[in-house]
């Protein structure tokens, strides 16, 4: 059973990252940035945390996931600032600085006792700030798609899979609050940023970052839904209901922005 769970975590993580990368190549980094807010990595983490530690454990963690999503915005902001400031070794320094910033923000958040309401208010405020902060970044498109081998596609998801394994493996040791905050780490977005950065440069990455705060509403919706539906309906039906709620948010958002 343990081996099957590990295999499932790896497979789902790989599929999520590969899918986002293909959207960036075939559609646009803007759409990929919005879809990066879709609860792929966080949903994977909360789902397996619920399976392994119980639905109430995951539901309590989801309360802190709502607050922890503000740390994921700190991560993409630091990635943008570092990559925009440097001309050499931008990928390495951007990645290291972004992860360090997330861990620092997560440690600070863990010092506070968030309720669902206070965590939601805090994250919405941070999201609005970064949507304003990134407003002047340009939307660019990937003009020439690079052909990837199956090994490169596999490597795209291995980073996300390792993060999922780490968070879900530590969950019981660190407790639901800390596990919930770590679940807010952009599990699929972070390796996706590195892939696009390595392949196409930093301009498409900045487009993804520009649109990430708008897609983050889907993640907030998902985590809120998990906190209510897991105790009532269980992990499986709660996950399905939460995905439905997040999808409705994204459909409404995409409809409104397409009119603009």
- How far apart CA 205 and CA 194 sit, in angstroms, is 8
Residue-wise DSSP of 211-252: HHHHHHHHHHHHHHHHHHHHHHHHHHHHHHHHHHHHHHHHHH
Asked if 71 and 130 count as a contact pair (C-beta separation under 8 A), the reply is no
Measured between alpha carbons, how far is residue 26 from residues 15, 29, 169 in Å?
A: 16, 9, 35
User: What is the DSSP code (8-state) at residue 76?
Assistant: H
pLDDT confidence of residue 162:
76
Q: Please count the other Cβ atoms lying within 10 Å of the Cβ belonging to residue 207.
A: 25
User: What is the DSSP code (8-state) at residue 49?
Assistant: H
pLDDT confidence of residue 41:
76
- How far apart CA 1 and CA 241 sit, in angstroms, is 25
pLDDT confidence of residue 31:
63
**Distance, C-alpha 77 to centroid of its chain:** 14
Task: List the chain pLDDT tens, one digit each, 260 residues.
Answer: 456 666 666 676 667 666 666 665 565 555 655 666 677 778 888 888 898 898 999 999 999 999 999 999 999 999 999 999 988 788 889 999 999 999 999 999 999 898 999 999 999 999 999 999 998 888 776 655 555 556 655 666 676 677 777 887 788 888 889 989 998 888 778 877 887 888 788 888 898 899 888 888 888 999 999 999 999 999 989 999 998 998 888 888 877 776 65
pTM: 0.84
pLDDT confidence of residue 228:
94
Q: Which two tokens stand for residue 164?
A: 């999922």
pLDDT confidence of residue 30:
58
Q: Which two tokens stand for residue 209?
A: 């970052």
Decide: helix, strand or coil at residue 185: coil
Query: For residue 18, which of 188, 256, 199 has the smallest C-alpha distance?
Result: 188
Task: With both helix axes pointing from N to C terminus, report the angle between 55-85 and 189-200 in degrees, rounded to the nearest 10.
Answer: 20
Measured between alpha carbons, how far is residue 207 from residues 44, 82, 113, 135, 191 in Å?
A: 25, 15, 34, 10, 16
Instruction: List the end-to-end C-alpha distance of the chain, in Å, as a whole number.
Output: 49
- How far apart CA 145 and CA 196 sit, in angstroms, is 11
Q: What phi and psi, each to the nearest 5 degrees, are found at residue 100?
A: -60, -40
Query: For residue 196, which of 17, 69, 42 has the smallest C-alpha distance?
Result: 17
């Amino acid at each position: 059973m343990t081996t099957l769970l590990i295999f499932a975590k790896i497979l789902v993580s790989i599929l999520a990252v590969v899918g986002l990368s293909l959207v960036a190549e075939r559609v646009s980094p803007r759409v990929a940035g919005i879809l990066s807010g879709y609860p792929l990595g966080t949903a994977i983490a909360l789902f397996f945390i619920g399976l392994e530690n119980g639905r109430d454990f995951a539901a309590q963690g989801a309360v802190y996931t709502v607050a922890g999503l503000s740390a994921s915005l700190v991560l993409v902001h630091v990635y943008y600032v570092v990559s925009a400031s440097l001309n050499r070794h931008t990928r390495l320094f951007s990645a290291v600085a972004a992860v360090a910033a997330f861990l620092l923000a997560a440690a600070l958040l863990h010092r506070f006792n968030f309720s669902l309401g206070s965590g939601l208010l805090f994250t919405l405020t941070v999201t609005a700030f970064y949507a304003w902060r990134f407003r002047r970044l340009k939307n660019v498109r990937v003009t020439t798609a690079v052909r990837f081998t199956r090994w490169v596609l596999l490597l795209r998801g291995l980073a996300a899979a390792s993060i999922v394994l780490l968070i879900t493996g530590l969950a019981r040791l660190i407790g639901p609050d800390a596990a919930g905050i770590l679940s807010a780490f952009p599990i699929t977005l972070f390796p996706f940023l590195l892939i696009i950065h390595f392949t196409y440069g930093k301009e498409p990455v900045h487009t993804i970052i520009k649109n990430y705060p708008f897609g983050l509403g889907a993640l907030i919706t998902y985590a809120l839904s998990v906190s209510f539906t897991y105790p009532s309906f269980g992990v499986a039906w709660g996950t399905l209901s939460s995905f439905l709620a997040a999808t409705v948010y994204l459909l409404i958002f995409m409809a409104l922005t397409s009119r603009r």
